[in-house]
Each structure stands twice: as structure tokens, then as C-alpha cells.
Amino acid sequence: MNINKDIAAPGEINFTGKGGELFGILLVNFILSLITLGIYYPWAKAARLKYLYQETSFGGSPFSFHGTGWEMFKGMIKVIGVFMLLLLVLYIGLIFRSFPVLLVGFGVYFLGLLFFMPLAIVSSLKYRLSRTSWRGIHGGYRGTYGSMLKIYLKGILLTILTLGVYGFWFWVSVYREIFSNIRLGNVRFSFRGEGDEFFIMNVKGYALTLLTLGIYYFWWRSEVYNYFFRHIVIRQEERQARFLTGMTGSRMFELLVTNFLLLVITLGIAFPWVLSRTMRVYAGNLSVEGEINFGTIVQTEENYTDAGGEAFIDGLDIQLV
Amino acid sequence: MSGQSVFTGTYYDGRTARPFSARAIPAQEGLRILLEGENVSEIIWDYHKIHRNPVNNNKIVLKYGDFPSETLELGSEAFLKAASRYAPDARFLILPYRGYLRIGSAGILIGVAGIIGLLLGLYFFLIPALMNFAADRFPRSLEYEMGQSMKGTFISSAQVDRERTRDINRFFGLLKADTRYKINITVIKSGVKNAFALPGGEIVVFSAILDTMETYHELAALLGHELGHIEKRHTLKLLFRNLSTYILVSALLQDVSGVMAVIVDNAARLNGLSYNRKAEKESDEYGFALMQKNHLRLTGMTSLFEKLKAGDGHEGEVPEFLATHPSLGRRIETVNSWIAGQTDNSKHHPGLDHYWQLLRKKH
């Protein structure tokens, strides 16, 4: 058997979705979610993710999302249970109207959230990556709750003590932890960004945005985009590859300003078109270059179908890619 | 084997990402997949175990078997037609989303109209009904606290007329009124002809409105009207409704809620206006009934309205931004039509008159 030669442009990342099709999916999602008072939400999310993943391709082959609404529904029920429990503690505090009880209520609530946030991220990544495949090879997340929790506790404590300054290093440490545990078959990832660079970039971005009355914002955003992707290292045994990014401030400017105008003029109805053009620009400015032959990836990861974390990150409104 | 169509594509075995050139041949016994190489090998897929990724613009992606599944990427839509000859009921041929993926511009227009219709329905019918339901069940103690904090914010920037506040509460105490609330009236020194009711039993009367009145019947009409707002929980309902707009918008639009909330908030005000006209009528009815019960001169109500209408543009009763001139004219007509059906059974009230004289002297 010989290897297929006609695979177009290896290393290219593309998004081929269309606003009109996405509109169809989101419209049905919207109506069914409304009619079912939100119960349809997990199925809606599955349909949306399937479309977004399957319209995204790398090296000419589309990604697949294997998650189902039912898996995510079961996850959602679990998470609603946890939230109800946490809220119950808070309400007991409010009902008793005594300061110590209220303090305990708040304490349990926020500590609960603090401890669940890393759990949510870890289990969501496990689910999301395991349910993603490319050429039949599944992704996976090998990180543990314990190591993410340590990073979180240290990060939040230091962020509070430094009045937010440590937040940049915290962000970088979370991404380091996440990427070092991502697998696609026997391909491994790592994030090589440094907090110092990220901090300076953001301070500079913030200051120049103020000085230029907001114009620099788009260049700042494109710097953050480039920073993020350029520091991801892809490894397969001894071979390495990296993302190349071609994002510029003017492209970001064009994208975000047009998105904003579209949304405002159509009162939000253009959202599917905005989403698909954002995906197109984000994916279109990315490619992978290096020594890795992606045809040699070997399946390594286990199946993981617990979608609890998926619902949790929704509940906490954390945005994962 | 004549009549069999052959489709070229790429096959992945699920163990590695290595692509194999493949020829797919739909046949009676199943989907035959020939893998190219020195020795051509053949796999047969059972049509009923094939899954298909719902959508992809460029490719048909078929999956076979449990985790980790085999994958076949094909480039031609004609494959589906050829396969349907052998297994028309196979799952991978029926796509749940197929129908509306290619809905076209007419479909989009209908969809947009549908969304707008649904949202309008939600906004004008379902939410008000839900909010009224919630407002009716809102605990009175909380309502009282809410009114107190609103009053606190307002009073801190205003000057209270203590004597008139004392007398107006005594005046009110002499009126027979059915109310579940403990009513507390405050008179504020102000040149604006205004009065309003807060949730939980607070009424605020501006001194200028007292100064324009000529009889205690008019004052009773005003207080009766404000009491109507409190009894019917109008302010609470208005608050609930504006709040629900925010919740609805942020729930539906997620990321874009910032922009949308601003737009919808303005819409909420316009809508709040019509809501308030209905509320005004309810309160007028309540005030009218109170005047009948207390044997007051019913024309006190219309003469109060006339004075407000002739006033300097500030209308009273409701916060200024909600008040409109045409509604006062219409309200006078409505009250007149109520009066027309009644015989005058008014009596003189020495007690009310006493406090009224004290109230009107003070300026």
C-alpha cells in the first residue's frame, strides 16, 4: 500500500463553514432551546460543535466531533446538581440573616467555585479532546485535577496578593499545564510562552490603546493571538513542528469592526455570519510547519465520554477554543 | 459487475493517521473499499453500521465501527446516490440537518421573521405574564425593603417638609381605605408638580402639587390614586419587567449582550410607558372607588387632573419621563364617564377639612 499523494497543502488550517448553514443550525437550536426551556441546550451545543469542528480542516482532512447531546445532557444534570448545592448553602446564609452564617455560606460558595473551576477545566478538556478526531486519530488530555488545582490555588492567591499583576503569569501557567497534557495520538504539545513577555505585551497594549483612543486595541489583540499560537510546540518523538501565524493588526481591525457593525445593524441576527467569518480569519491565518509527517500519527488515547466538565465550563462561562 | 460506480477517496484505518488511496464501490453485499498498493486489499462495510459526519462543505466523511473508528473521506456527492440503490434506509444517508443546511435566502428570511416573531411574542406576552405572576407572589416584607431603599436614595437629595408630612399622614388616617400595606406619606419641598408611589407603602408628594389644589377632595383623589399603584404593585411589576428584559437578552445573546442590552433597554422604556397607562387606569379606578366609599365629591378627581393638565408641563402622579399629555385628557374623559352613572352622595368631612386647612396654609 502506498501513501496517498494528492493531499492538498499539508499543514494548512482552513475553515470552510458558511454563515447561511450555521444560521440554519443555530436557528433550529435557538427555537428548540426556547420551546424546551433550555433542556435542548446540550443537543444544540453538540450540533454547533459538530458543524464548527467538521468544517475545520488540517492538511485537507476535517476534524470530527464525536460528542453527543445525550452525553452532554447527563453532564449538565450533574453540574446543575453541584450548582444547586452551592447556591443552597448561599441561600441558607441569606435566609438566616445572621452574619456568621452568611459568612460561612459565602465562604463555602466561593471556595466551592474555586475548587470546581480547575476540575471543570480538566474534565471538560478530557471530554472535548477525547471526542475530537482527525483522520480517525483521537485527541486526549492527560492532565490531572491535582496538578491543575495546585496551579489554580497558587495563581489565585498570588493574583490577589499582587492586586492582579500575577494574573498574566497565572494565565501562562494554566496554558503550560493544559498544552503539556494535550495529545493527538502520539503527537504531544507544549506551550513555551513566558509570563514576562505576556505581561509586557499587555501593559504596552493597554497603555497604547488608551493613548491612541482605542485604535491600538486591534494590534494588541493580534499580538495576543500571535503570542498564543507561536508558543505552541508540537512534537512527535524527536521531531518538532510549530504554528505559523500571519495575523496582523489591520486584519484584526477589519475583522472586529465589521463584526461589530454587522451585529449592531442586524440586531444580532448576523451572529452566525460573524462567527463563521471569525473562524475563517482565525483559521486562515494559521498553518503548521515542521518536520512532523502527520501521516505517521499513531492512535494512543482512550475513549472518555463523561461530559460533566463541559457543562461546568458553560456554567462558569469559561471560554475554551 | 457492470453498472457499478467507483469513487476515489482516502481511507484511514483508525490506528494511525496514515492515508491510503481507496476506491469505494457500493455493492449488494456492502460498501466495498479497495485499498491500493502492491497487493490490493479489500474491506467490506455493512451499510447499516456506517456513520456520517453531518456536514462538511468539501467532503463526505464516513465513520465505521466503534472507537477508534475507521474513516473514509470521499469527494463526490454522487456516491450517496449510488449507495442508496443498495441500502435506501441506511442511517448515513439520512442527515438530520440536511433539510435546513441549504435553506437558501428565502429560508433565511423566514427564519429571521420567525425569530423576531418569537422574540416579540416572548417580550410582549409571555414575559409580562410571568412577571406579573412573580410580582403577585413577591413577599411583602421584601417589597417594603425595596421601597425603603428607593425612598432612601430619593429623599437624601430632597428636603422633607416635616409639618406637612405629619398633617398629610393624619389626613390619610381619616380616610377609609382597604389596604394590606402600612402607608407612609412624605411631603417634599419642590416646585415640580409631582407625586409617586413606591413599592411597599411609601407615597411621596411634592409640595407644588399640594399648592395647586383647592379642595380636600382633590387631595383624596391623589392619595387614592397613589394607593392604587401600591395595592396593584405597579412599580414592582415595572421593575420586574425591565429586569426580565436584561435576563432575556443576556441569556439569548451571550457574547453580544452588551450592545443588545442598550438597545433593548430603550425599547423597554417605550414599552414601560404603555404598561404605565394601563396601570394609571387601574389606579384611577382604585382611587375612584375610594372616593365613593368615603362619600367624597367625585369631581375632585377630574378637577385634580384638569389642574395638572393646565400646569407647567410636569404632570404628577408618575415620574415625569413616563407622563404624557394625551393620556391625562383621556383619563379625564374616562373618569367623567364613570361619574355620569353615579348620583352625588358626597358629605362634608370636618376632619379631612381640618387637616386640609393646615396643609394648604403652610407655604
Of residues A268 and A280, more confidence is placed in: A280
Residue A179 sits at the chain B interface (C-beta within 8 Å): no
Say if the Cβ atoms of B69 and A1 lie within 8 Å.
no
Question: Does the pLDDT of residue A312 top 70, yes or no?
Answer: no
**Nearest neighbour of A62 by CB, restricted to B61, B122, B259:** B61
Residues in A closer than 8 angstroms to B53, CB to CB, are: 50, 54, 62, 64
Please state the rounded mean pLDDT for residues A209-229: 91
Question: Does the pLDDT of residue A3 top 70, yes or no?
Answer: no
Residues in A closer than 8 angstroms to B10, CB to CB, are: 4, 7, 61
**Nearest neighbour of A2 by CB, restricted to B36, B105, B122:** B36
Please state the rounded mean pLDDT for residues B125-138: 80
Question: Does the pLDDT of residue B260 top 70, yes or no?
Answer: no
Backbone angles phi, psi at A98, to 5 degrees: -105, 140
> Which alpha helices (H) appear in A5-98, and where do they start and end?
19-35, 41-54, 69-96
Please state the rounded mean pLDDT for residues B153-171: 88
pLDDT digits (tens, 9 = 90+) for A79-89: 888 878 877 87
pLDDT at A6: 38
pLDDT at B311: 62
Residues in B closer than 8 angstroms to A264, CB to CB, are: 259
Question: Does the pLDDT of residue A178 top 90, yes or no?
Answer: yes
Contacts of residue A283, defined as CB under 8 A and 6 or more positions apart, other chains included, come to A13, A14, A15, A56
Q: Which of A146-150, A283-287, B29-33, B257-261 is predicted least confidently?
A: B257-261
Residue B58 sits at the chain A interface (C-beta within 8 Å): yes
Of residues B252 and B222, more confidence is placed in: B222
pLDDT at B95: 65
Chain A, residues 238-277, CB within 8 A of chain B, namely 260, 263-264, 267-269, 271
Mutation test of the interface with chain A: which of B55, B58, B63, B64, choosing the one with the most A Cβ atoms within 10 A? B55
Residue B16, min C-alpha distance to chain A (Å): 4
pLDDT at A189: 93
Of residues B94 and A187, more confidence is placed in: A187
% of chain B surpassing 90 pLDDT: 24
pLDDT at B52: 84
Say if the Cβ atoms of B101 and A25 lie within 8 Å.
yes
Residue A300 sits at the chain B interface (C-beta within 8 Å): no
pLDDT digits (tens, 9 = 90+) for B179-191: 889 999 999 988 8
pLDDT digits (tens, 9 = 90+) for A72-129: 888 888 888 887 887 787 777 777 767 777 788 788 888 888 888 888 888 888 899 9
Residue A35 sits at the chain B interface (C-beta within 8 Å): no
The answer to whether A115 and A295 are in contact (CB under 8 A) is: no
**What residue type is B29 in one-letter code?**
E
Tell me the torsion sign for CA atoms B171, B173, B177, B183.
Answer: positive
Confidence tier at B149 by pLDDT (50, 70, 90): confident
Give the number of other CB atoms < 10 A from CB of residue A194: 14
For A23, name the nearest residue in chain B, comparing CA atoms only: B108
**Nearest neighbour of A24 by CB, restricted to B15, B63, B101:** B101
Confidence tier at B322 by pLDDT (50, 70, 90): very low
Say if the Cβ atoms of B10 and A7 lie within 8 Å.
yes
User: In the block, which residue shows the cell 382633590?
Assistant: B218
pLDDT at A115: 86
pLDDT digits (tens, 9 = 90+) for B34-68: 988 777 888 899 998 898 876 666 678 898 988 78
Write the Ramachandran bin of B317: left for phi over 0, alpha for psi from -120 to 50, otherwise beta. left
Confidence tier at B241 by pLDDT (50, 70, 90): confident
Say if the Cβ atoms of A136 and B61 lie within 8 Å.
no
Of residues B252 and B169, more confidence is placed in: B169
Report the mean per-residue pLDDT for chain A: 85
pTM, 2 dp? 0.64
ipTM of this predicted complex?
0.73
% of chain A surpassing 70 pLDDT: 93
pLDDT at A21: 85
Q: What is the DSSP string of A75-93?
A: HHHHHHHHHHHHHHHHHHH
For B95, name the nearest residue in chain A, comparing CA atoms only: A47
pLDDT at B96: 54
% of chain B surpassing 70 pLDDT: 80
Question: Does the pLDDT of residue A281 top 90, yes or no?
Answer: yes
Question: Does the pLDDT of residue A233 top 90, yes or no?
Answer: yes
**Nearest neighbour of B73 by CB, restricted to A1, A28, A61:** A61
Residue B192 sits at the chain A interface (C-beta within 8 Å): no
Residue A169, min C-alpha distance to chain B (Å): 26
Confidence tier at B253 by pLDDT (50, 70, 90): low
Q: Using alpha carbons, select from B78, B50, B75, B71 the residue that is nearest to residue B60.
A: B75
Residue B10 sits at the chain A interface (C-beta within 8 Å): yes
pLDDT at A28: 84
Burial class of residue A111 in the structure, from the number of CB atoms within 10 Å of its CB (0-12 exposed, 13-18 middle, 19+ buried):
exposed
Residue A138 sits at the chain B interface (C-beta within 8 Å): yes
Pairing of strands B7-12, A286-290: unpaired
Q: Using alpha carbons, select from A319, A315, A318, A320 the residue that is nearest to residue A82.
A: A315
**What residue type is B262 in one-letter code?**
V
Say if the Cβ atoms of A62 and B19 lie within 8 Å.
no
- In angstroms, the CA B142 to CA B307 distance is 36
- In angstroms, the CA B223 to CA B229 distance is 10
Question: Does the pLDDT of residue B77 top 60, yes or no?
Answer: yes
**What residue type is A208 in one-letter code?**
L
- In angstroms, the CA B269 to CA A237 distance is 63
The answer to whether B150 and B198 are in contact (CB under 8 A) is: yes
